[in-house]
A and B are shown apart, each in its own frame.
Chain A
Amino acid sequence: MQKPSILIVDDQRDVLTSVRKDLQSLQDFFVLEECESAAEAVEILEQLDAQGELAALIVCDHIMADQNGVDFLIELNKDPRFKSVKKLLLTGLATHQDAIAAINMANIDRYIEKPWDPGDLLHNVKILVTQYILRSGVDYQPYLPVLDQDTVYQELQNRT
């Protein structure tokens, strides 16, 4: 079974650690990659793409030392190679303008505010990776134990 990656991007170590902890239950099925900057995330994405590996989701902070999260996601959204990668913005400090840009230009799939509720984050991450798996063409059956049930039902209904 292929293990698609979930990238967690935040310049604060402790945030990375605690997001990773919250998503721990997924790690038998997905690779959890920690990135301390947008640049590092790009590097990993390039690497995955070069090796033909899948990137399922990016969980991204907004305010970061170098490039900010929304700008990074906007750039990513323009790259056809990463069109299908799901994007979740996890931030407490985005302005109204940032949020508008994130929706209109980065096409983000979820916006979750810091401080976050671990259960809520995991639930939303599961929904997004479920959509990704069922639309990516890989066999969904091995992943069923960690996928979001309701999303599975929605996606499978339309199959012939």
Chain B
Amino acid sequence: MNKNWKLAVSAAAPLFILFLPASWLPLEMTVIEQRILAIFLFACLSWILEPIPVYATSVLIIVLELVMTSDQSFILFQGGENDASLGTLLNYKDIMATFAHPIILLFLGGFFLAMATSKYRLDVNLARIILKPFGSNPRFIMMGLMLITALFSMFMSNTATTAMMFAILTPVLKSFDQNDSGRIAVILGIPFAANIGGIGTPIGTPPNAIALRYLTGADAIAFGTWMCFAVPYVIVMLFFAWFILLRIFPMQSKEIHLTIEGKFLTHTKAMILYITFAVTVILWLLGGMHGMNSYVVAMIPVAVFTVTQVITAEDLKQISWDVLWLVAGGFALGLGLEKSGLSTNLINNIPFSTMSPFLMVLFCTLLCYIVANFMSNTATANLLMPIVAVLGASMASLEPLGGRTMLILATAMTASLSMALPVSTPPNAIAYSSGLIQTRHMSIAGITIGLVGLLGLYLLMFILNTIGFFA
């Protein structure tokens, strides 16, 4: 299907919904709800078919909501004074505020840490130190590489981490024997570790942040709490991935040498980076003890780095605004569904509660797993999370299993387990483009790890539920 067709489909279907007479709709809806439904359908089609870049879809969602559903919308969309069927107009400030939602700023803080880290080569130097004890046995070096990748991807973007690790690895990959299948294991180990590592912290990967958006009030999860359950899971999955990769692609080389050049910078700016990084992470972990939540803490590195010029105006241009806006569009979509009343409307009118809670968990996670394998993890989470939040809230039968918090967490973490294809995630694409592996290599290992990861996730949720975490 070419681009114009995709665009036509993404535009035509929502327009059809938009102009459908109210009596034809399966539910009783206000006009605003109907418009939100049309925007949601557009988001679905546009994120799946990608006629425009995924972040452009997000921006369009925000602008469409402003123009069509807000209290400052185009005059013809606002309806008459006493038009009861119009419904509630959304506050335009709320829609615009999604660009600077606390979770977006949490990510911005993470970006600042990541930019400064790579600018002053803290990442490469840490990699050098951490790798030392792993010796020269290629199996253990691979383990070390995967641990480092996962650790970094908890704080840096998975893509940048993968690129950095491959830059370190290139000379080693060239020295490998062409016929040693262990080379494939190493090449796949990096992107897989980056995908898995992203699960570790709320800022590790955007789907985590999107989950946080729906976990508010009593369901809120602090930065440190998230790490308490996610990091052990990441570690277990890493060892499994390492084990299974070496099983499928046995290592024949007996010895490899990995030399990473460089030494820690000791000038003032670098020292400011080291201290700020450490302090920020400690403050994040200590959560409730100092009164500042993780969003406020995330602003500290932003201030310190700009004041001390560790990050300059030129560096600011490197911030991936597309990632932030992609997430913001998802937030606006969630906002529209909630504030228009469409979410509640759906909850009240669709008999979710009669469905089996086990099947529901299975359905949400598997759907997320499959979709995220073919499209952007963030876009997948943007689409599924508002629906999952509604489902979770409406199903009383889900309560004994952990309720909506469990369903939201499980679905968000599943997005990071999708690594079956080169298109599944940017780290996979980078590994595949090395030209040293084939799609089937990636698929065999990626699907195995993904499905075992899902089982592990169910176990994790079971344990968390048993210890009363969701109560």
- Taking Cβ atoms with an 8 Å cutoff, the residues of A that contact B are 139, 141, 144-145, 147, 149-150, 152-160
Q: Measured between C-beta atoms, what is the minimum distance from A127 to chain B in Å?
A: 14
Q: Give the docked Cα–Cα distance between A159 and B159 (Å).
A: 8
B274 at the interface (CB under 8 A from A): no
Known: A139-B53, A149-B434. A157 touches B429 (CB 8 A): no
**Which chain A residue has the least Cβ–Cβ distance from B107?**
A160
Question: B106-145, CB under 8 A of A: which get 1 and which 0?
Answer: 0000110011001100000000000000000000000000
Known: A149-B166, A149-B434. A160 touches B429 (CB 8 A): no
Q: Give the docked Cα–Cα distance between A159 and B427 (Å).
A: 13
Contact A158 B433 (CB under 8 A): no
Contact A144 B433 (CB under 8 A): yes
Q: Measured between C-beta atoms, what is the minimum distance from A148 to chain B in Å?
A: 10
A160 contacts across to B, CB distance below 8 A: 110-111, 114-115, 156-157, 160, 318-320, 323
A159 contacts across to B, CB distance below 8 A: 157, 159-160, 163, 318, 320
Known: A141-B429, A144-B433, A147-B433. A157 touches B160 (CB 8 A): yes
Q: Measured between C-beta atoms, what is the minimum distance from A79 to chain B in Å?
A: 23
B200 at the interface (CB under 8 A from A): no
Q: Measured between C-beta atoms, what is the minimum distance from B209 to chain A in Å?
A: 14
B156 contacts across to A, CB distance below 8 A: 160
Total number of B residues with any Cβ neighbor in A under 8 Å: 28
Which listed residue, B118, B170, B434, touches A158 by the CB 8 Å rule? B118
Q: Measured between C-beta atoms, what is the minimum distance from A11 to chain B in Å?
A: 36
Contact B170 A156 (CB under 8 A): no
Q: Give the docked Cα–Cα distance between A153 and B162 (Å).
A: 8
Q: In the complex, given contacts A157-B167, A160-B111, what are 19 additional A-B residue pairs having Cβ atoms less than 8 angstroms apart?
A: A139-B53, A144-B430, A147-B433, A150-B167, A152-B163, A152-B433, A153-B163, A153-B164, A153-B430, A154-B167, A157-B118, A157-B163, A157-B164, A158-B115, A159-B160, A159-B318, A160-B114, A160-B160, A160-B320
**Which chain B residue has the least Cβ–Cβ distance from A158?**
B118
Contact A152 B119 (CB under 8 A): no
Contact B426 A158 (CB under 8 A): no
Contact B170 A144 (CB under 8 A): no
**Which chain A residue has the least Cβ–Cβ distance from B157?**
A160
Which listed residue, B114, B166, B318, B429, touches A144 by the CB 8 Å rule? B429
Known: A144-B429, A147-B433, A160-B320. A153 touches B170 (CB 8 A): yes
A141 contacts across to B, CB distance below 8 A: 426, 429
Q: Give the docked Cα–Cα distance between A44 and B113 (Å).
A: 44
Q: List 15 A-B contacts (CB under 8 A).
A: A149-B435, A154-B167, A157-B160, A157-B163, A157-B164, A157-B167, A158-B118, A159-B163, A159-B318, A159-B320, A160-B110, A160-B111, A160-B156, A160-B319, A160-B323
Q: Give the docked Cα–Cα distance between A145 and B156 (Å).
A: 25
**Which chain B residue has the least Cβ–Cβ distance from A156?**
B163
**Which chain B residue has the least Cβ–Cβ distance from A150?**
B170
**Which chain B residue has the least Cβ–Cβ distance from A145?**
B433
Q: Measured between C-beta atoms, what is the minimum distance from B120 to chain A in Å?
A: 12
Q: Give the docked Cα–Cα distance between A152 and B119 (Å).
A: 17
Q: Give the docked Cα–Cα distance between A144 and B159 (Å).
A: 14
**Which chain A residue has the least Cβ–Cβ distance from B426?**
A141
**Which chain A residue has the least Cβ–Cβ distance from B315?**
A158
Contact A149 B433 (CB under 8 A): yes
Q: Measured between C-beta atoms, what is the minimum distance from A137 to chain B in Å?
A: 10
Question: B259-287, CB under 8 A of A: which get 1 and which 0?
Answer: 00000000000000000000000000000
B157 contacts across to A, CB distance below 8 A: 159-160
Q: Give the docked Cα–Cα distance between A150 and B434 (Å).
A: 9
B163 contacts across to A, CB distance below 8 A: 152-157, 159
Which listed residue, B110, B160, B435, touches A156 by the CB 8 Å rule? B160
Q: Give the docked Cα–Cα distance between A149 and B173 (Å).
A: 12
B160 contacts across to A, CB distance below 8 A: 156-160
Q: Give the docked Cα–Cα distance between A141 and B375 (Å).
A: 13
Q: Measured between C-beta atoms, what is the minimum distance from B179 to chain A in Å?
A: 21
A149 contacts across to B, CB distance below 8 A: 166, 170, 433-435
A144 contacts across to B, CB distance below 8 A: 429-430, 432-433
Q: Measured between C-beta atoms, what is the minimum distance from A81 to chain B in Å?
A: 20
**Which chain A residue has the least Cβ–Cβ distance from B54?**
A139
Q: Give the docked Cα–Cα distance between A145 and B429 (Å).
A: 10
Q: Measured between C-beta atoms, what is the minimum distance from B427 to chain A in Å?
A: 10
Question: B44-70, CB under 8 A of A: which get 1 and which 0?
Answer: 000000000100000000000000000
Contact A153 B167 (CB under 8 A): yes
Q: Give the docked Cα–Cα distance between A141 and B111 (Å).
A: 21
